[in-house]
Homo-oligomer: A and B are copies of this chain.
């Protein structure tokens, strides 16, 4: 039996990345802007075009691939391929799986983007070989996924891994979800930008917004954070330390509850800042979880696959589901 080649797709609010993947290796890939503001049909067209470009690069057609698997940024109903809710795309109840199946005629699987990325890091990235792993992705929001006894843990309703909404400070800052004190309200890029803005309004000095303008960015990106730290912006340093502190508390709590072998941190901020971002998180975490039975051996490491975690993980998810359906 030959190893199947699968089209793995990562659908983000900013970019679509599609790749032909064989056994964790990306053979060819293509990235396009998502442009969700143009509407659902336009996004579906852009996904199709991105995939067809990969076909061309492979000198192949749809029937040469075993399946398409796409990770979408929101709540997904895996059985039907419907994206129930993807706030960053402005999507509600979009039959993404069906739409792509109509366009390509081969099996299409849909899953949550973070779940898929965590599977990618587990099978082919930083978590290789671990039975119990937690993936934490720091970006515009904070996402996560759990690998328990070697398999993704989806939970009773398929809603497990909502670690961005773990409350780390009761009665704390209001989060985008409407609740107070979620870790996402301190440590996401969106939150860090809002906190810097609030502090500036209170009279604190900062160069962050000038740096943002100089770089032609409309929001606090990972590169703006990096440049602000290089400029030794005290407010940026303080806000980042605060974010790291609460991520450390989150990490400690997850260790005490789940006892994982490895915690993999990914997402734009981690990729940009690397170990210097993780070290303070690790320090706080180790101060706050129980030091028993080899606790010092728990690893807290950066993700290895970067943007490829999505397509590579999607290909793994597709292979597993193909196997499960053939019997």
Q: A159, A249, A261: which has the most chain B beta carbons within 10 Å?
A: A159
Determine if B131 and A156 form an interchain contact, defined as CB atoms under 8 angstroms apart: yes
Chain B min CB distance to A41 (Å): 26
Per the bound structure, the CA–CA distance linking A294 and B260 in Å amounts to 28
Chain B residue numbers with a CB within 8 Å of A122 are none
Chain B min CB distance to A205 (Å): 27
Per the bound structure, the CA–CA distance linking A156 and B256 in Å amounts to 11
Determine if A160 and B288 form an interchain contact, defined as CB atoms under 8 angstroms apart: no
Chain B residue numbers with a CB within 8 Å of A167 are 168, 249, 252-253, 288
CB-nearest residue of chain B relative to A180? B288
Chain B min CB distance to A255 (Å): 8
* Chain B CB within 8 A of A216 CB: no
Per the bound structure, the CA–CA distance linking A75 and B293 in Å amounts to 9
Per the bound structure, the CA–CA distance linking A228 and B261 in Å amounts to 45
Q: Are A160 and B258 also in contact (CB < 8 A) when A155-B132, A293-B75 are?
A: yes
Partner of A146, one of B131, B162, B257, B292: B257
* Chain B CB within 8 A of A320 CB: no
CB-nearest residue of chain B relative to A297? B157
Chain B min CB distance to A13 (Å): 19
CB-nearest residue of chain B relative to A262? B156
Chain B min CB distance to A72 (Å): 15
Per the bound structure, the CA–CA distance linking A206 and B34 in Å amounts to 63
* Chain B CB within 8 A of A254 CB: yes
Partner of A155, one of B153, B156, B259, B288: B259
Q: List 29 A-B contacts (CB under 8 A).
A: A75-B292, A75-B293, A132-B155, A149-B149, A153-B258, A155-B258, A156-B260, A157-B292, A157-B293, A157-B297, A158-B293, A159-B259, A159-B290, A159-B295, A160-B257, A161-B259, A162-B256, A162-B257, A163-B256, A165-B289, A166-B253, A167-B249, A167-B253, A169-B169, A170-B245, A170-B246, A177-B290, A179-B288, A257-B257
Chain A interfacial positions (CB closer than 8 Å to B): 75, 84-85, 130-132, 144, 146, 148-149, 153-163, 165-170, 177, 179, 245-246, 249, 252-254, 256-261, 287-290, 292-295, 297-298
Assuming A157-B293, A159-B259, A168-B170, what are 4 further A-B pairs, CB within 8 angstroms? Answer: A148-B153, A149-B149, A149-B153, A159-B292
